[in-house]
Amino acid sequence: MQVLVIGAGPAGAAAAIELARGGADVRLVEKSRWPRAKTCGDGISPPCVLETDALGIDLSDRMKLAEGDLVTPGGLSMRSGWRAETPWGTIVERRDFDGRLVDAAIAAGARFDDGTTVEALAKGSARSRPTATIAGKAEPFDAIVLAEGATGPLASRAGFGKHKTRLVAVRGYADSVRPLDPVFGLYFERGISPGYGWIFPLGERRANVGLLLDEGQVRRQGGNIRKLLANWLAVSPSARSALGPSPELSSISGGVIPTGRGLRVAGGIFLAGDAAGVADPFSAEGISQALGTGRAAAKALLDNGPGERAARAYAQALRPFDRNAREARRFRLGFGYVMDPLVRRALHRPALAHHLSANGMFMKESLPAFLLGIVKHW
């Protein structure tokens, strides 16, 4: 089975690893020259560590973040840990993280071509295979995994429609005035909630810092998200405590995080990762979903061979991602009303604090189960 994988980020690399290990003839192409940096929060969440473990990617050399800090719009602060099966997360710059994945894909037998642009895609049919135009030549493949990221044009041009909604993020790197606590810091402070600021330590005194908002919030606050980040760092008690009053930022860049897409598989083309719009609409976490969808596309093809059975299997595998997205949107809508009273209560009930941290910060449990857990520990 000949498979073309477009995009060497987490979704594409994960698909390439699994496909190559399963015996497929895999060509992995990436438009950028390798290695390359990537705008990202660099956060490998506790559930995401499970995905990397499943791929055989060892992250034990990185700083382990076993807890998370959460600050509510009302200024309440809570620190708690994760589930036993996901005891820690970490921060890995994407140049490093994606490089580890691509190295694993190559070791598994995938051919990797960087600096290679796919100019067009055409869906296959019952009588023809999908094709990709590379260097002016249309080449057929048994299947194509399209993991072109948030802003790639190929999916829309091939008839997959547009993403439903978008979040906006900006990040930079900053040095702190004191040793950083080894925690994920998510700060839903007044003025940016239900968006949030983050501080993710890369080491003892260096952090990835950023701001996540929806497009409407950015427009209402003047449209300059870099300025909004600078303002947040200047006034946020959490940021000032961790980093000092005037942290110097480097490598500032921003981007969009698309969520939702109606069509993800058709004509032998399988969309994965941000191309499929599977990032969490509340937290904007996307690396775990990218790895998961890349692996799911590979499994569908390896278990069923190219064709409609694989397409149906992949569509079925995407249903939990869509369910989580629907529930995360609901959680986002109600966040400002419920989080302050919940955290106020959790400060006196460790079991509730753990439940909120382990499930709420990364929403890996269904909303009904999440709410039932609140009732149980309330």
Smallest Cα–Cα separation from 216: which of 233, 187, 195? 195
Number of structural domains found in the chain = 2
Is 361 found in the same domain as 279? Answer: no
Is 13 found in the same domain as 115? Answer: yes
Is 292 found in the same domain as 333? Answer: no
Is 159 found in the same domain as 117? Answer: yes
Is 277 found in the same domain as 356? Answer: no
SS3 string of the chain? Answer: CEEEEECCCHHHHHHHHHHHHCCCEEEEEECCCCCCCCCCCCEECHHHHHHHHHCCCCCCCCCCECEEEEECCCCCEEEEECCCCCCCEEECCHHHHHHHHHHHHHHHCCEEEECCCEEEEECCCCCCCCEEEECCEEEECCEEEECCCCCCCHHHHCCCCCEEEEEEEEEEEEECCCCCCCEEEEECCCCCCCCEEEEEECCCCEEEEEEEEEHHHHHHCCCCHHHHHHHHHHHCHHHHHHHCCCCCEEEEEEEEEEEEECCCEECCEEECHHHHCECCCCCCCCHHHHHHHHHHHHHHHHHHCCCHHHHHHHHHHHHHHHHHHHHHHHHHHHHHHHHHHHHHHHCCCHHHHHHHHHHHCCCCCCHHHHHHHHHHHC
- Is 265 within a domain? yes
Is 364 found in the same domain as 275? Answer: no
Residue 330: how many other CB atoms lie within 10 Å:
12
d(CA 5, CA 263): 18
pTM attached to this predicted model: 0.94
- In tens digits, the chain (378 residues) has pLDDT values of 999 999 999 999 999 999 999 999 999 999 999 999 999 999 999 889 999 999 999 999 999 999 999 999 999 999 988 888 888 999 999 999 999 999 999 999 999 999 999 999 999 998 999 999 999 999 999 999 999 999 999 999 999 999 988 899 999 999 998 999 999 999 999 889 889 999 999 999 999 999 999 888 899 988 899 999 999 999 999 999 999 988 989 999 999 999 999 999 999 999 999 999 999 888 889 999 999 999 999 999 999 999 999 999 999 999 999 988 888 887 777 777 788 998 999 999 988 888 888 775 654 566 677 777 888 888
Asked which of 326, 346, 362 is the last residue of a domain, the reply is: 326
- Is 137 within a domain? yes
- Is 292 within a domain? yes
Residue 368: give the domain boundaries: 328-377
- Is 237 within a domain? no
Task: List the CATH number of the domain containing 310.
Answer: 3.50.50.60
- Is 98 within a domain? yes
Is 156 found in the same domain as 133? Answer: yes
Is 267 found in the same domain as 349? Answer: no
- Is 81 within a domain? no
- Is 229 within a domain? no
